[in-house]
A = this chain, B = another copy of it.
């Protein structure tokens, strides 16, 4: 019997009591506690080497308009009337790109990769033959297409999901059609 779980039960009920589990249950299982998981989301694309003055606070800066108007957060609702203020009008392409990177940083998401048509075609061709390319193939593709291996792997994952989805859908449609057909026959008889 582990009486220690009662602590857990308490936590369930919203009691943030100090987690004191009975020693017995932890006995012999004393682990090196990394109490601050620190959960680094792993964002290698936010390269720390890019600038020598690689200050962390650099990315916490909230972009704003030159005139002090705060930058429209993409998640927010569009501002109907202020169309004339669209930030595109204020920044060059490269400036927008860097702003975007900053946004991506504090939102913690890798900038969306835009595959070229050629890259997609090659990937599709490989997919047709083998939709589970091993690491060797992926690395090979990465070199040949000038992409990171991770992009390749993700691409295949998403591609498989897409295939499955389409399969599901067609199956559903078939089932529906059959259902309707049967129904019709019954009515006719």
Task: Identify which of B8, B25, B94, B166 contacts A122 (C-beta below 8 A).
Answer: B8
What does the 1/0 interface line of A1-34 toward B look like (CB < 8 Å)? 1111101110111000001010001111111011
Given the known interface contacts A48-B176, A129-B4, the answer about A21 and B73 at a Cβ–Cβ threshold of 8 Å is: no
* Inter-chain contacts of A180 with B (CB < 8 A): 48-49, 52, 54
Chain A interface residues toward B at CB < 8 A: 1-5, 7-9, 11-13, 19, 21, 25-31, 33-35, 37-40, 42, 48-49, 52, 54, 56, 67-69, 71-76, 79, 94-95, 98, 101, 118, 121-122, 124-126, 128-134, 136-137, 140-141, 144-145, 163, 165-167, 169-171, 173, 175-177, 180, 184
